[in-house]
Amino acid sequence: MLFLVVMSLLLLAAHFLKAGAPLLTLAALAAVGLVWVRRPWAARTVQVLLVLGGLEWLRAIPGYLGEYAALGKSPTRMLFIMITVAVFTMLTAFVLQTKGQRKRFGMERVVTEEQA
């Protein structure tokens, strides 16, 4: 399941690289490393970055529309791909909410006998 998270972050890094944003490219690549940090803060950081990454994909659409218009191409396929990638990126944040991943990152709520 973490493969999906890593794939989303790598796609985002490629997007930033193409856009000429080296610091954001490095940030996305650094976030890949956070996937192996078994701490709740690391999981939450990656989740926030994935949601922001999905919003970045949506933010980039108008720029790509301009490029397609200048080339005389139909933007339908590009719109479908960009929206799909944006949704996929945001949904991968939920991978870290699955029971197995919550346990892996130490995000499970510990129930003591007093609480039960």
The predicted pLDDT at position 114 comes to 60
Using the predicted structure, report yes or no on whether residue 10 has a pLDDT greater than 90: yes
Q: How confident is the model at residue 2 (pLDDT cuts 50, 70, 90)?
A: very high
pLDDT at 3: 96
Q: Is residue 73 scored above 90 in pLDDT?
A: no
Confidence class of residue 115 from pLDDT cuts 50, 70 and 90?
A: low
- Compute the 3-state secondary structure of the chain and give helix, strand, coil in percent, each to the nearest 5: 80, 0, 20
pLDDT at residue 111 greater than cutoff 50:
no
Cα 16 to Cα 56: distance, rounded to the nearest angstrom: 10
* Residue 4 and residue 92 in contact, taking contact as beta carbons nearer than 8 Å: yes
